[in-house]
Structure 1
Amino acid sequence: MRRAILLFSLLLAVTFAASKFSVGILITGEIGGNAIYELVQKGALEMASEEIEIKIVEGGYNQSKWEQMLISLAALGRYDLLMTFTEGMPASVNKVAEMFPNQKFALLDGIIENPLPNTYSVAFKDDEMTFLAGIFAALITSSSLPGANEEKVVGLIAGDTYPAMTNVMRPSFENGVKTVDPSIRVFFGVVGSWSDPARGSELAAKQFDAGADVILSIAGGSGIGVIEEASVRGKYVITVDSNMISMNPSVILGSFLKHIDVLVKNTIADAKAGTLPFGTSKRVGIAEGMIDYTHDDPNFVRNVPDDIRAQLAEWFEKIKAEGLPKINNE
């Protein structure tokens, strides 16, 4: 009798384990020091439960290995959903999805233009985020803040060059700046690495020397050097992805946010419920509640003048209701 009960208990345990919804997550990079992947980890682990199993794999910064790692995860045949990230992965996801037609894939923060029936992708409207950051930078350089000089110059430092930066983020940032004042100059620099603070500091120094008083940092771990250089000089930095103001409230005046933790959670929940629309792709932004900024952060409220906060809030609501304004670049 005891043996029968033991066997029955083991059978129940195996059945329960097999019934768990299993999610494999391939991080295209490393979590530590990367704001966006720290949010991914947070959202994913909040979904872990007796019904949902989460496995997170860090792919590192060698991009040539990411596709093979995705193939290896798919070949295991143990995941109900494989999730990965960034604009660098659409071709790889499609390729692996063709190899494993019974495996479901979700690409976040990147778009698959011709999705297969077993793929789903959703990207952020990065143009909304960086346009708003451009508005903010222009208002800062035009202000009477202690760190703002008489020259109307702002900067953007990127971790690397990639299509979303070249075609979307940089031009949208510049458009935001020029919308406030067409005479403002915009510097652009590329670190060439997401984990080189020394090089980030060096580029920031060059931009500050040339008259910039505020820099938008989209540089991952390299952005630490940008913040440190700004701190030494009494200048300002704007960050993206997560709220980094607390790192140095007198330097980081504001952060523009991607709620990727919420997106991860929603994607996993919908996939488990069988309602994730595989075979489709979409973009989400301010109107969908996925892009925001640190409007209610106490340091932001304390350190940013009322008129700048009011104008930024007005632009946020305008984009939420109407989308981005059409820019005449002629």
Structure 2
Amino acid sequence: MKRLISSALMAVMVLSLAVATGSVEQKKETKPSLSVLVYITGVTAGSPPYTALAEGATKFAAEHETVSVKVYEAGFNQAQWEEQLTSLVATGEYDLVLGSNPSLPELCANVAKKFPKQKFVITDAYMPGNPQIRTYLYNQYEQSLFLGYLAGLVTTSDMPYANKALKIGFIAAQEYPLLNKHMVPGFLDGARMVNPNIEVDFRVIGNWFDANKAAELALSMINAGVDVFATISGGAAQGLFKVAKEQGAYIVFHNTNEYSSAPSLVVGCGSMEQEKLTMEILKDALDGTIAYGEATTVGVQQGYLRFISDDSAYTANLPQPIREKFDAFMQDIRSGKVAYTLPEL
């Protein structure tokens, strides 16, 4: 009996020593993983928001070894988007589908019915109430409002290409609710804060790539008295830049820095902080803290929209009196002093 007790005590001592010296393998803590499909409804080339979405996701994956990202460009045929997305989700490879397009929520809702465990996050879109979908809507009315205000200052000025017609222009690739209900009205409302008699000439290309058609529309609009343009047209915007340089007209640009695309003629650019939001979304997804079913609108005060005034072209392209008026307006936007009602979608 004494020998048995002695042996048992010896075994306990050996085990204690092994634990103390780290000889016994400890259970490793498993890091959370995340597989992401970045679904581009179109192509990244010529589309700054899609480029920023893809770059933000790729950058996040590079910083997190347990995160993988696949970027899929769906092309311009919208009739194929749902079928493509269904096939990709059916593989079961992706924890999260990440996209950016106002028309995506409805499409994703259809796919979600077939795959009840699949999660979707969509920026530049708004759909509350679906437990598989989280959306973030950039306040494009607000961005259009401050770009419209700048367009109003320019069209009523004595700048070389400004005329007396009090007419600004908006060229779009296609019509969709966010464009029709937020962007075009916001652009006109901002301009009319300068002069209530300003009118907007709104034209539609029909696709996101036909620069020749955009050029034809721009030339027709200039002939009709337009002297300041905005555009949401992807790669087709190159046609507007070309005509503006040939004929003489000014441009304000949504979502990205395009001052260099038409030097001295692009007088103001807004910025949509897509890369920043993308990386924040993926961090929340990795942490498991995304509130699916919710929809959030983000704008200037939240830090996701801004005006690019720190480019030297902004100072070079606009007379100081216009810059002073516009900078004061932007300060009022940031502080919430500019009153407006966000239209329903």
TM-score, length basis structure 1: 0.90
AA partner of residue 65 (structure 1): Q
- The answer to whether the 8 A contact 1:128-1:324 is kept is no
Match of 2:72 in 1: 57
2:42 aligned with 1:29: yes
2:227 aligned with 1:194: no
Match of 1:82 in 2: 97
For the residue of structure 1 that corresponds to 2:334, the secondary structure is helix
CA distance in 1 between partners of 2:169 and 2:308 (Å): 20
Match of 1:6 in 2: none
CA distance in 1 between partners of 2:254 and 2:29 (Å): 41
How many residues are treated as equivalent by the alignment? 312
1:30–1:18 distance in 2 versus 1, CA, 3 Å: farther
Q: Over residues 263-282 of structure 1, what are the superposed CA-to-partner deviations in whole Å (9 max), with x where a residue is unaligned?
A: 11111111111121112111
For the residue of structure 1 that corresponds to 2:193, the secondary structure is helix
Question: Aligned ranges for residues 172-183 of structure 1 at < 5 Å?
Answer: 172-183=186-197
Alignment partner of 2:146 out of 123, 128, 132: 132
Alignment partner of 2:119 out of 84, 104, 127: 104
Match of 2:15 in 1: none
Structure 1 gaps of 5+ residues are 1-14
CA distance in 1 between partners of 2:316 and 2:216 (Å): 30
- The answer to whether the 8 A contact 2:128-2:134 is kept is no
Alignment partner of 1:265 out of 274, 279, 283: 279
Alignment partner of 1:240 out of 254, 263, 266: 254
Cα deviation, residue 314, structure 1:
2.1
2:105 aligned with 1:93: no
CA distance in 1 between partners of 2:158 and 2:295 (Å): 44
Question: Aligned ranges for residues 174-323 of structure 1 at < 5 Å?
Answer: 174-322=188-336
2:63 aligned with 1:44: no
Q: Quick check: 209-218 or 64-73, which moved more? A: 64-73
Match of 2:177 in 1: 163
AA partner of residue 229 (structure 1): V
1:171–1:323 distance in 2 versus 1, CA, 3 Å: farther
Q: Over residues 98-153 of structure 1, what are the superposed CA-to-partner deviations in whole Å (9 max), with x where a residue is unaligned?
A: 2222122111111113322x221111011001111110100011112122123322
Q: Over residues 290-316 of structure 1, what are the superposed CA-to-partner deviations in whole Å (9 max), with x where a residue is unaligned?
A: 111111111111111222222222222
- The answer to whether the 8 A contact 2:100-2:123 is kept is yes
Alignment partner of 1:122 out of 124, 129, 136: 136
CA distance in 1 between partners of 2:277 and 2:54 (Å): 12
CA distance in 1 between partners of 2:85 and 2:218 (Å): 36
Cα deviation, residue 94, structure 1:
1.5
Match of 1:113 in 2: 128
For the residue of structure 2 that corresponds to 1:146, the secondary structure is coil
CA distance in 2 between partners of 1:280 and 1:160 (Å): 27
Cα deviation, residue 21, structure 1:
1.7
Q: Quick check: 52-61 or 34-43, which moved more? A: 34-43
List, as ranges, runs of 4+ consecutive aligned residues in structure 1 with deviation greater than 3 Å.
Answer: 15-20
- The answer to whether the 8 A contact 2:215-2:240 is kept is yes
CA distance in 2 between partners of 1:297 and 1:108 (Å): 26
Q: Quick check: 234-243 or 316-325, which moved more? A: 316-325
- The answer to whether the 8 A contact 2:152-2:198 is kept is yes
- The answer to whether the 8 A contact 2:244-2:262 is kept is no
Q: Over residues 63-89 of structure 1, what are the superposed CA-to-partner deviations in whole Å (9 max), with x where a residue is unaligned?
A: 111112221222111212111221111
- The answer to whether the 8 A contact 2:265-2:317 is kept is no
CA distance in 2 between partners of 1:145 and 1:318 (Å): 25
For the residue of structure 2 that corresponds to 1:36, the secondary structure is helix
1:62–1:17 distance in 2 versus 1, CA, 3 Å: farther
Cα deviation, residue 19, structure 1:
5.9
For the residue of structure 2 that corresponds to 1:151, the secondary structure is coil
CA distance in 1 between partners of 2:303 and 2:89 (Å): 32
For the residue of structure 1 that corresponds to 2:226, the secondary structure is coil
AA partner of residue 243 (structure 1): N
For the residue of structure 1 that corresponds to 2:300, the secondary structure is coil
CA distance in 1 between partners of 2:86 and 2:231 (Å): 33
Match of 1:10 in 2: none
Cα deviation, residue 16, structure 1:
12
Cα deviation, residue 165, structure 1:
1.2
Match of 1:12 in 2: none
Larger Rg: 2
1:222–1:17 distance in 2 versus 1, CA, 3 Å: farther
Q: Quick check: 191-200 or 68-77, which moved more? A: 68-77
- The answer to whether the 8 A contact 1:153-1:184 is kept is yes
